[in-house]
Amino acid sequence: MVHLHVEKTIYAPPEKVFAWLADPVNLKAAPLIVTAHWADDSPAPSGLGAIRTGFAIGLWFREEITAYDPPHSYTYLIVKSVPAFEHEGGTLTFTPDGEGTHVDWVSTYTHPAKGGGKPAQALTSRLLPWDCKAILDGCAKALER
């Protein structure tokens, strides 16, 4: 099991940071993510129950927003992926911090044998935190002026 945890303080209001990070288009700030968007069959364009899909180098994913409390937090669950990915969920929490917003991002997952097992976990446990940090850095670059 991999427990991913990244955090960053972004010098922008929580409402703006939340909106930027909740929009799947902005996931492309990660070096490995090629495309991400709201799914055509998403029941809502954003918010609780919305579906995001994306393609990263070596990975296709579909995730559902399972909790949505703007501008405080949202939780997502990867419900399908290729290769297989058993996701226990990920949560982004947004806390006012002086003139900025502290973002705390946690996610827990495993790769079953059919998804590459332990070797895949060894690889993604290094790559995914790097990608998540790049997304937070992209948010800071976009919002901090």
Task: Return d(Cα 73, Cα 22) in angstroms, integer.
Answer: 10
pTM as predicted? 0.93
How many structural domains compose the chain?
1
In a domain, 108, yes or no: yes
Sort 128 into a burial class: Cβ within 10 Å, 0-12 / 13-18 / 19+: buried
pLDDT in tens, 27-62: 999 999 999 999 999 988 889 999 999 999 988 999
In a domain, 36, yes or no: no
In a domain, 116, yes or no: yes
pLDDT in tens, 88-129: 999 999 999 999 999 999 999 988 888 788 888 787 888 888
CATH of the domain at 100: 3.30.530.20
In a domain, 55, yes or no: no
The set of residues, in sequence order, having a beta carbon less than 8 Å from that of 34 and lying 6+ positions away, is 28, 54, 55, 56, 57
In a domain, 130, yes or no: yes
Please, which residues bridge with residue 38 across strands?
52
Residue range of the domain that includes 16: 2-23+65-143
